Structure 1
Amino acid sequence: MTLLLNHTDTVKALDKTAETALIRLVYVSSLTLHSRLKASIFDEVEAHACDYNEQQGITGTLCYGNSHFLQCLEGEKAKVLALQQRIFADNRHKNIKILLLETIDQRIFSDWRMRLLFLERWLWSPATKQQAMQLSPFLPFAPHGWSSQRTEQFLQVIKDFQTPPHIKAAGITYNAMGN
């Protein structure tokens, strides 16, 4: 696959694909310093993604760790590309790079509208450590250098997660900032 750096490249790569075809788009980005200082960013992103993606029939996952996002979007080409354009214009993150773009016959995340996974070991609860240990080969989380094959391996590991790997202690859930 040719390296795709922006929305225009993605549109060109899918030029001969039907608008209603199912596609999978996986990109990575880095959280800006300003966004890292905003404790509510993850709640805002998750709430917005769940609502919007449900309306548009888009499924996938959003992973965060080590100041990096990795998001997998699955859905009809036209709807995923419209969302990609909005995401790539969002100034809460930078260094955006597409890792995987492909047409698909079926979704990996068909039962998830959008799920947020924190990939910081210190956030893992005892109940989810066994499940989360499968992530060890992908940690520390630095997806900007991943190949398409490594990205697909990662998606296969997380697709079966039943419980998000994060800490809930004394009724408090800690986010990736420790808040």
Structure 2
Amino acid sequence: MDACHASTIDALKDVAEDTLVRLVYVSRISLTSRADVTIFDDIEDQASSHNASQNITGILCYGNGHFLQCIEGTKDKILALQKRIFEDKRHKLFKVLIAKPIAERSFTDWRMRSLFLERWLWSPATKAQAVQLSPFLPFRPHEWHEAHTSQFLNVVQSLHNPPHVRAAGVTYNAFGNMLQHVAAPHQAFLLVQAILGVLTLIAVAWMFA
């Protein structure tokens, strides 16, 4: 059994199986998944069909190579889903930030919506509306503690409407809009870095020419 999954079981050992719980974990996208342009669509499709039948709600956030997922449901359903998630080779370096009983859900939509925290892909309008996310960027959730994670989720709840939620369509700026035709959001960052690297080499070569 995965050690991280085992620690969650231990943290909830005194909680009844039918108790409503919240689980928040973080992970890193795997190297092979960075080349998969359909990874988020696949995750959303799988989550939609599975979560509806299990009455599990939540949100999936991605940025800077990190995933943060919050899932809510009864303890037995959440632990079963966690085991399934932690066996998924599309991501790695799992860490549980929150595992506790809750009185009510923060996310009531059973579709696993996705929020992309790549600020440079947002339109000016999106940036203005999402100013509350600034303290959490660049997105490095592996370094967060429970209080910081809870603050982040509270902000996400207030932004749980277009254009921030990918279920309603990602808002791209002009450059991002061009890149979406050749790369997924998680790949576009790598493309930009490569382009900047090439431009830097050209500039250096021109200076010493």
> Quick one: which amino acid aligns to residue 110 of structure 1?
T
Is this contact kept in 2: 1:63–1:70, CA < 8 A? yes
Cα offset for 1:168? 4.5
> Quick one: which amino acid aligns to residue 12 of structure 2?
L
1:38–1:97 Cα change, 3 Å = same
SS in 1 for 2:99: strand
Q: Which runs of 4+ in 1 moved over 6 A?
A: 169-173
1:57 counterpart = 2:61: no
Is this contact kept in 1: 2:44–2:111, CA < 8 A? no
Q: Deviations over 1:136-172 (max 9, x none)?
A: 0000000001000000000000012111433257988
TM-score, normalised relative to structure 2: 0.78
Whichever structure has more helix as a proportion of its residues is: 2
> Quick one: which amino acid aligns to residue 111 of structure 1?
D
Task: Answer 1 or 2: higher relative contact order, Cα 8 Å, separation at least 6.
Answer: 1
1:167 to 166, 171, 174: 171
> Quick one: which amino acid aligns to residue 127 of structure 1?
A
1:38 matched residue in structure 2 = 36
1:128-147 correspondence to structure 2 within 5 Å: 128-147=126-145
Is this contact kept in 1: 2:60–2:115, CA < 8 A? yes
1:173–1:159 Cα change, 3 Å = farther
1:120 matched residue in structure 2 = 118
1:123–1:137 Cα change, 3 Å = same
Cα offset for 1:125? 2.4
Q: Aligned residues: percent identity?
A: 53
Q: Deviations over 1:36-72 (max 9, x none)?
A: 1111111111111122111111111000000000000
2:45 to 44, 47, 58: 47
Q: Deviations over 1:69-122 (max 9, x none)?
A: 000000110001100000001111011000111100001112353110000012
Gaps of 5+ in 2: 165-169, 192-209
TM-score, normalised relative to structure 1: 0.90
How far apart are the structure 2 equivalents of 1:68 and 1:105?
Answer: 28
Gaps of 5+ in 1: none
1:94 matched residue in structure 2 = 92
CA RMSD of aligned residues (A): 2.1
Whichever structure has more strand as a proportion of its residues is: 1
